Amino acid sequence: MGAAIGTAADRPFAAPDQGVDQTAALQAGVARAARAGLAHEPNAAIGHAACAAAAYAFLNRSDPSPGTAPVLHGAPPSAALVARGAYLARADDCVACHTAPGGKPFAGGLAFKLPFGTLYSSNITPDRDTGIGAWSDDDFVRAMHDGIRKGGKRLYPAFPYTSYSQLSRADALAIKAYLFGLPATPRATPEPDLAFPFNQRWAMGFWNVAFFRSARFAPVPFFSSPNFRRIRRCATGCSSPQWGPPTPVKSTALGARIR
């Protein structure tokens, strides 16, 4: 040990009798000073102790502000958000269309047989390769509000974005939070097998021009009681298989029958 540390001449601040243990020397010095302080200046010692106690209390104080929640990318979503998403996903019945017979929930593959071919529901589990695990919040909201999938291609309105367009961004993202908490199921969605011109996804832009308006739900002042709002949102924002113009909002809202 001595060879590695060097001689006393290398350590100008160490007294020869203290060797290399400078910590012990420091402690002894502090103890001597404290004894001297208490003996000769009791008021100063009490003052120092009071300052130390005040500093301790100040540095340990609690912040009464509720605070704000910054966006933390990659942080787990809150349990309340996931519960809300589970409720909305159930109300909107995503699982019914997104589960093939005998298949894993939400992994897609249910065939929609149409007069001009067959379309399959997508895998919407968080699998990154075959599901929507690589989708950002904006990707997901765009699909729900505008019927456009990640990458910019148009979705067919067998996916009822025509209704989901009414969901607020917050509600859409609650559904996403719920879906992203589900097990990731790898299952490639079969390509649609549709006849020309229905196999042209871009052409759905024209269908949208004719039959779809992207818009969030807005309460009608006269019918804005919380219960009526809930019924109306469900009647217009919940899904039913469709291929054609969505039913006008007013008639479904007022003639709504909720199962």
Please report, as residue ranges, which positions from 23 to 52 form the binding site for ligand HEC (by CB under 6 A).
Answer: none
In the list 45, 158, 188, 231, the residue contacting ligand HEC (rule: CB under 6 A) is 158
Q: Which of 85, 100, 107, 159 binds ligand HEC (CB under 6 A)?
A: 159
Q: Does 137 bind ligand HEC (CB under 6 A)?
A: no
Query: Measured from the CB atom, is 124 or 253 closer to ligand HEC?
Result: 124
- Which tokens is 63 given? 């912040």
Q: What H or E segment, with its residue span, contains residue 205?
A: helix 204-211
We find the least distance from the C-beta atom of residue 205 to ligand HEC, in angstroms, to be: 13
Q: In the range 70-109, which residues lie near ligand HEC by CB under 6 A? A: 89, 92-94, 96-98
Least distance to ligand HEC from the beta carbon of 157, Å? 8
Q: 179-182 contacts: CB < 8 A, separation 24 or more?
A: 179/85, 179/89, 179/94, 179/106, 179/124, 179/125, 179/126, 179/132, 180/77, 180/126, 180/133, 181/77, 181/82, 181/126, 182/105, 182/106, 182/125, 182/126
Structure-token match 């349990």, residue found: 79
Q: Which of 84, 99, 121, 208 binds ligand HEC (CB under 6 A)?
A: 121
Q: Which residues within the stretch 178-237 sit at the binding site for ligand HEC (CB under 6 A)?
A: 192
Residue 225 corresponds to which amino acid?
A: S
> By the 8 A CB rule, do 172 and 135 touch?
no
Candidate residues 99, 100, 122, 212; the one interacting with ligand HEC per rule CB under 6 A: 122
Q: Count the site residues for ligand HEC by CB under 6 A.
A: 25
Among all chains, which residue has been given the structure tokens 């006008």?
Answer: 248
Which whole-number Å values give the CA distances from 69 to 20, 117, 182, in the listed order?
51, 48, 24
Q: Which of 124, 173, 174, 177 binds ligand HEC (CB under 6 A)?
A: 124
Q: What are the start-end ranges of the E strands in 106-209?
A: 111-114, 117-120, 193-194
Summarize as ranges the residues that interact with ligand HEC (CB under 6 A). Answer: 89, 92-94, 96-98, 112, 119, 121-122, 124, 132, 143, 149, 155-156, 158-160, 164, 175, 192, 239, 241
